[in-house]
Chain A
Amino acid sequence: MSTYFSRPDREEFGLCSHAMSVSEIIDFDDFSDIEIKKIAGYRKENNYELIIEMERIHLGFKFRGYVKGFTDEIEIFKFKRPDKLLVNNWQSWGPSKVIEKDFRLDFPDDLIQKFGFSVSIMPELYFDNLISDYYIASEHFLVGGLSSKVAHPYFQLDENEVSVKLRYFGIRFEQWQEIEPVVILFDDTDKVLPYYADLVAKENRVALSGKRLVGWSSWYQYFLDFDYEKMCTELENTRRRGYDVFQIDDAWEVDIGDWTPNSKFPSLEEVAAKIKEYGYVPGIWLAPFSVSETSTLFKEHPDWLVRGEDGNPRVAYENWNKRIYALDTTVPQALNWLANLFQNLKKCGFEYFKIDFLFAGAIQGKRLENVTPIQAYIQGITTIKKAVGDSFILGCGAPLLPSIGYVDGMRIGPDTAPYWDVSSSDIGYPNAYYSLRNALTRWFTNGIWWWNDPDCLMLRKSDTQLSDVQRELYTLTSLLLDNMIIQSDNLAYVMDDRLWSIVSEYRKYGRRKVHLSGIMSGQYNITSCGVDGCDSLFITDLEDCVFTYSKDTVDIELIKTVELKDDGRTFNYYNEK
């Protein structure tokens, strides 16, 4: 066993010292184009060569480039650190938030080992440095990586400067290798964020499925205490609620890594068939890159796991009171196993896959093939996508940029919870408050990278510490942002029916066009337009749930009916109510 976190071994990652250093610091509040042009050109370092090309694009500049040789890390350029910055964590649960100059990371020591790599793909840097992954934005500009297929684009902040870096984790390129493109975009944050998201989507050739789902999940009601009987009871209670999907969460499996039903469930065919009886798409949860120390998979295939420098399997994180290891997705047999696992689930009837703790597929360590953790991750997620075909994939606990183009939906915040705690640490721990904060600060990826999953709505009035107003704000935000809507309640409880009727109202028609402004101020103003007009939600104080919601006045109510003619043509009729 190799526990990376109990004994952070800096030597192991001492390769960072090979990173080249760019001396000039650009001040984006006062610069000339010449300073930006200087970033481009040919550089020769001790171990590698680098070519960077600059292209002028709408709102700013794009850098493409090529690297050859042994590379641990490339610094592309440095810029003067503005006082206020929007920073972002690499995976679903991590915070995306605005920080001021005096911000200091406050991470409880006793959670470091448990969280493992979930906090960062570079835990050796994370706790002593300020890091933003993928993108960073001030009030007037944004710098961001357009892809993460080989390297990890990130920003290292010190007191006065921000260094723009691509981390390659010590890899040798014999041939010229294209680097991840980076853009600088100048405009108000609220304008550049969606624009940046779209550039990323185009770079990764995203063709987003039109499936915007409404569903039910077992997790935030039952957690691990869920079984087939409860499932059947809930299914009975779902009648007329208009869900698309019904998803069983963590609770059904023998162990993390042993993805067969435990004694609380019949066969998976039966589970899926039961859900289908009610007209829903059967959904299932699993953590495909995670392998628990107690699993049969761990015992039988220790050679399928990512290893530390000592050659022993490396702990990726701890959960379920167990050490969890990571599947080495460069081992052909492990990839086969992964493909079979998903093909089999699909054969059983599941067509919605919530795949969780995905960051485990991208931890640093030794793998069979000498690839970067990002390349390994992409091999894993590609295998899953291929196996499930056009079924819906919801990513969770996932590295954001490398998942683009592979998932249909994505959790974009920490787990929600039946409580709203504004005083706890902002570290990705379950909390409705931080969960909703991330839904707001990452709003701009929705419908562009994937459908954002702001995590489940809990509409029950008992068995929860959420207040009416917290529940209302959560629901309205998810709806106005046009996110995925998954409810997690025991449906026998008394519900906030008014909120559910608002959900049904909003989901009657197609997509919405959304804009959010105020990200840097923390006063979020959402304008959300649909067939019935433009509604707005202005959150002046998220902590205390102070907001104004205004719904557009609807004078004309059109009822749409759709007819499919014998010749295959569709007719849409619109009649007044």
Chain B
Amino acid sequence: MMERRYNVLTDEWVMVSAFTQQRPTNPTTSCPLCVGGDEFSIPYDLASFDNRFPSMKVDAPEVESDSRLYKRARANGKCEVVVYTVEHNSAMSLMPTYQIEKLIKMWVDRYLELSLQPAIKYIFIFENRGAEVGATLSHPHGQLYAFPFLPKRIDAKMQSLTKYYDENKRCAICDVVENELATNERLIYENEGFIAFVPFYARWPYEVHVYPKRHISSLVEMNNSERSLLSKALKIVTMKYDLLFQQSFPYMMMLFQSPVNDVRYDHAFHFHIEFNPVKRDKNKIKWMASVETGTWAFINPKLPEEAAAELRSVEVVI
């Protein structure tokens, strides 16, 4: 069973994928991403492959939707596992920036290749790191979902940013970048191409956003020197996280790009990366609980400026 179901209460699509229930919750034997594991028989450097338990497939079964109330649609998207390196014990914070640059190049290739499919509307690249955010494998990897629809929060971003553009004739994120550079209250790292900072509007205690200084709407528009600068920014943010509590820091890393097969948002939407970590303290977790899940309203127990100061003071050398 694989289909999309429409929620008439919230105007959102839910992907129903019955066999995700059978996914291994705790792989007991060897790592499937290591050479010789379930997925790889030969050595590789980086790889991106179809998830064994996808919630969407390019050739997803046709579905009949004849109800006005209960609409269904094909889950004709794609779910890929994006493996960063063959080194099992590595992590973004431990990898050479050169490896992260290769990862960025692979992301670009995946994005451009998948965007050739007319049914794909949005490509969401992300990483769940740590058991606290549901990652079942410790081998450094992320994932990508190529959606045949614009997910709700993505749509909210598009609407909000186009509204700001209409009102101000400017890209909101370009303005945020300018503001953060001017005030320097929340920055944790900056190079010629990117800023990393705890946003004014952070929802999570140690939330960090990475924005390119130049207006671009997707990964693809970065030139090679910007890719290298982004790899540095990613390495430094994740290193700071690990050093903050001297532990492998659990986070959700999410890349937000303009929709594909759609250029309507390119001038108003500014590519960015969000790190949403769940730790509020060394041993405390901030859960996505009733208020956050039910209302989409967040209570951040940490002043973003303080979180920024803490992260800024974590010294890292690359």
Contacts and interface: CB of A to CB of B under 8 A. Distances in A.
Interface of A: 58-59, 187, 191, 194-195, 197-199, 202, 206-210, 212, 448, 509-513, 515, 527, 529-534, 552-556, 558, 560, 567-576
B264 interface: yes
Interface residues of B, number: 44
B112 A512 contact: yes
Given A533-B223, A534-B223, A194 B263 contact: yes
A226 to B, nearest CB: 33
Interface string B157-177: 000001001100100000000
Contacts of B281: none
Contacts of A187: 169, 267
Given A208-B118, A529-B220, A572-B110, A191 B267 contact: yes
B285 interface: no
Most chain B CB atoms below 10 A, which of A448, A533, A569, A572: A572
Interface of B: 39, 44-50, 52, 98, 101-102, 105-106, 108-110, 112-113, 115-119, 162, 165-166, 169, 218, 220-225, 227-228, 261-264, 266-268
Given A58-B165, A511-B115, A569-B50, A208 B261 contact: yes
A560 B109 contact: yes
A559 to B, nearest CB: 9
B110 A556 contact: no
Given A210-B118, A571-B39, 11 more contacts: A195-B266, A510-B113, A510-B116, A513-B112, A529-B221, A530-B108, A533-B223, A534-B222, A553-B225, A556-B98, A572-B47
Contact of B118 (A58, A209, A527): A209
A527 B214 CA distance: 14
Contacts of B169: 187
B246 to A, nearest CB: 32
A199 B264 contact: yes
Contacts of A560: 109
Contacts of B39: 571
Most chain B CB atoms below 10 A, which of A58, A199, A210: A58
A527 B266 CA distance: 14
B224 A555 contact: yes
B44 A575 contact: yes
A246 to B, nearest CB: 22
A244 B218 CA distance: 29
Given A208-B118, A513-B221, A556 B105 contact: yes
B296 to A, nearest CB: 23
B224 A511 contact: no
A128 to B, nearest CB: 37
Contacts of A554: 224
B76 to A, nearest CB: 12
A232 to B, nearest CB: 33
Nearest to B51: A569
A139 B250 CA distance: 49
The 9 closest A-B pairs by CB, nearest first: A210-B116, A569-B50, A207-B118, A571-B49, A533-B224, A534-B223, A510-B112, A574-B46, A58-B162
